[in-house]
Homo-oligomer: A and B are copies of this chain.
Amino acid sequence: MDIKKVAARAKVSTATVSRTINSSDAVTPATAARVWAAIRDLNYHPNPHARSLSSGKSHILGLIISDITNPFFPDLVKAFETVAIEHHYEVIVTNTEYSPDRTRLCVSRLLNRKVEGIAIMTSEMEPGLIEQMQRAGVPIVTLDTGLPGRKFSNIRVDYAGGVRQAIQHLVGLHHERIAFIRGPQRLKSAQIRYEAYLRVAKQNALTTSSSLIADGEHTIDGGFTAMLNLLPQKPTAVVASNDLSAIGALHALQQKGVRVPSELSIIGFDDINFSKHTLPELTTVRIPRAEISRLAFEALSSNSVSEHGKEWTVATELVIRRSTGSSIRPRPTV
């Protein structure tokens, strides 16, 4: 079942069949109709490898993430796949697993397969590898990395805005001792959140004593330990750099018998799937992963790739659930 059979049945040349499939405008409607009929009758599907070989376009996109096991990524991957297949692209997902070697492998796999674009949704990416992709002429889009360049777009998340939303929410609830659980400072995104905490807290005339800051490593266990360290400082609220550490903090509080939110409020960051199922449900700053995926696709899609890439900024959204509440105890009615 190849293009020749279709051509024969439609009584045209293979060129016309190809043109009908790819750019219907260059073909007379009557001819096109005959060709489409033949295609349907024969249940013809063009061979993608032949197509890629001769056109040079693979119609495959690469997606590089850290680790599909990290709950931040599944939503991102799913949304990216959805938009890609809507546009008849296939996607190859690769996990760096935070290892430089593995990352190199990811890049070379993608380059070998001649993907038409690469979305790099992990922050660990050596500049050398970015250059390698640029030399290969592949459009790329990153999340929170450097500035755009040649065929190189960037999506930036307004983390600082997210932290502001969180703190202002707490301030509105009359909190005055707001602690912060940091993420790993080698991650730019974690660093931005921490600095924003410092800045916004000062703007609101809150203490940012170093005793109100703990390291949560962006993990549940880290958040647990951090919360334990924070407890003696009597904060009335805690902002965590991500949901995982907020969940760890929640566990620590539960174990210590501290009630949330009546005695202490907690806000996470990310809005991973699980956050709406914690007890109490976690108030958090949502990173709009579906939107990021859509933008990433758009950045890579051939009709919008220009020599000089663009930069997009996406806003976070405060999702208020049940882990935050007023710092002022309701007085018993006399």
Contact = CB atoms under 8 A, between A and B. Distances in A.
A67 B74 CA distance: 9
| Majority-rule SS of A interface residues | helix
How many copies of this chain does one complex carry? 2
Contact of A220 (B47, B49, B277): B277
Interface of A: 45, 47-50, 52-53, 58, 67-69, 71, 74-75, 77-78, 81, 85, 90-95, 105, 108-109, 111-114, 220-221, 247-248, 251, 254-255, 273-274, 277, 279
A216 to B, nearest CB: 14
Nearest to A55: B49
Nearest to A113: B48
A85 B109 contact: yes
Given A254-B254, A279-B251, A53 B49 contact: yes
18 contacts: A45-B108, A45-B111, A48-B112, A48-B113, A49-B53, A50-B53, A53-B53, A68-B68, A68-B78, A71-B71, A81-B93, A81-B94, A91-B92, A92-B92, A220-B277, A248-B277, A251-B277, A254-B254
Nearest to A93: B93
B69 A74 contact: yes
Given A85-B109, A274-B274, A47 B78 contact: no
A109 B81 contact: no
A109 B95 contact: no
A248 B91 CA distance: 34
Given A49-B58, A52-B49, A68-B74, A90 B92 contact: yes
B85 A78 contact: no
Given A48-B113, A109-B85, A273 B53 contact: no
Contacts of A247: 277
A5 to B, nearest CB: 17
